Amino acid sequence: MSITPILASLDSLEKLHVSLLRLANDKTVLIKVGDMMGLDQMLKDEQAHLAAIVQMDTRRQLAVSQYLTDQGQTVPAKPTVADLLGAVPEVDKKSLKEARDRLLHAIHDLKWQNDLNQKLTYQSLQFVNLSLDMTRPRSRTINYTKPEINGKRVTEDERTFDSQA
């Protein structure tokens, strides 16, 4: 068996991650603008991409398992490209490393963009909470102070604690 199916699955994974990165960039714009309907649709699109990535990664794992089995190697529970590098001939290692590095670069860029989106979302939430706090009436703080400080004296009729009870 050749590593062609593995390289094809790595290329497909890279394309899916780059497409997801484009969605993450678009999401940044939607967050900045505050387009909630657009964000809702964007989340649905991201879910579809994630499902496709999971499916493609399962295919990659199966292809790596099949290759390692054909080579007489032990197959780990979740085979990775690093597991594969020790079993492939030197001719195929370069193309396999390049495909892996391109995928890792796309994943790194996606992670950075998602971190940015998370920070922007958190800041937006802080702004909303601040706006709500400013519009809500403040409740009176209840604490123990001397009545003379507040300018009123407690009389017998105003006491709320009945010691005779």
Residue 80: band (very low, low, confident or very high) from pLDDT cuts 50, 70, 90: confident
**d(Cα 19, Cα 35) in Å, to the nearest integer?**
21
Q: What's residue 13's pLDDT?
A: 96
Q: Which tens digit of pLDDT belongs to each residue from 130-152?
A: 877 777 776 666 666 565 555 55
Summarize the confidence of residues 1-14 as an average pLDDT.
91
Average pLDDT over residues 100-129: 92
Domains of the chain are 4-136 (1.20.58)
Confidence of residue 95 (pLDDT cuts 50, 70, 90): very high
The pLDDT, as a whole number, for residue 159 is: 52
pLDDT band at 18 (very low <50, low <70, confident <90, very high): very high
CA separation for the pair 58, 36 (Å, rounded): 33
Check if the beta carbon of residue 34 is closer than 8 Å to that of residue 124: yes
Cα 80 to Cα 63, 84, 107, 113: the distances in Å are: 10, 7, 15, 25
Judged against a pLDDT cut of 90, whether residue 29 lies above it is answered with yes
Nearest to 50 by CA among 80, 20, 81, 25: 20
Structure-block tokens of residue 102: 């391109």
Residue with tokens 């809702």: 40
Residue with the bigger pLDDT between 165 and 63: it is 63
Specify the range with the lowest mean pLDDT, choosing from 1-5, 21-25, 110-114, 139-143. Answer: 139-143
Q: Which of the two residues, 160 and 104, has the higher pLDDT score?
A: 104
pLDDT tens-digit profile of 35-73?
Answer: 889 999 999 999 999 999 999 999 999 999 998 888 888
